[in-house]
Amino acid sequence: QSVLTQPPSVSAAPGQKVAISCSGSSSNIGNNYVSWYQQFPGTAPKLLIYDSHKRPSGIPDRFSGSKSGTSATLGITGLQTGDEADYYCETWDSSLSGFVFGTGTKVTVL
Amino acid sequence: EVQLVESGGRLVQPGGSLRLSCAATGFSLSSYAMNWVRQAPGKGLEWVSAISGTGGSTYFADSVKGRFTISRDTSKNTLYLQMTSLRVEDTAIYYCVKDGGSYPYYFDRWGLGTLVTVSS
């Protein structure tokens, strides 16, 4: 059972925007950076956001990250059919002394 | 170019043991922490274990603590995961993951994964 909660699914039309929430606690999101990963079916995950809001080179600025208190959000603007994938948040949990992942969110482009 | 190639996954009986390997190229294991992350069929991601860039610190998820060991051979630039007392619930794709720092930080690059199936 994951300690980080995400909505199971979000959807929007092409060109629109979506926001994926990730809810945690003071032992994880509240005091640590958050990362986000994108995973297409049958493939390995890929880093999208680290340090809560930074993008690795090659990740378009349509993807953004933010954190407030014990929650984090991944935003995707200008939604494209190629964005249909599962998205996971992740952070370090100081109480567990280990990484924790979110439950995952499936993005559907209508 | 960073590459991570896992091997060693196979079908094993409950209670059995298995060692996974991850050959790394394009960087030195001595400079970065490394992780194992698994994904059960149709399920989400679960972090399993990490080792610091110095090799002096190791970390384990509660679900595998006492059963799994993480290690590395810097001369071969290869990461290992020794798994013992395997359970049906350990069935998953195991990914070798390079960290973004020398201590556990974030998951920078992922291998393609190796499938471990625990079944009688």
Which residue stretches of chain B have pLDDT < 70? none
pLDDT digits (tens, 9 = 90+) for A41-66: 999 999 999 999 999 999 999 999 99
SS3 of A80, please? coil
- The pLDDT, as a whole number, for residue B102 is 84
Per CB-CB distance under 8 Å, the chain B contacts of A101 are 44-47
| Other beta carbons less than 10 A from residue A67's beta carbon | 20
- Over range A24-42, report the average pLDDT: 97
Amino acid at A37: Y
Contact between B4 and B111 (Cβ < 8 Å): yes
Q: Contact B44/A45, CB-based, under 8 Å?
A: no
Chain A interface mutation, best of B39, B45, B48, B115, highest count of A Cβ atoms under 10 Å: B45
- Over range A12-18, report the average pLDDT: 97
- The pLDDT, as a whole number, for residue B103 is 86
Amino acid at B47: W
CB < 8 Å from B in window 39-78 of A: 39, 44-47, 50-51, 56
Q: Contact A99/B104, CB-based, under 8 Å?
A: yes
Asked whether the predicted pLDDT for residue A1 surpasses 80, the reply is: no
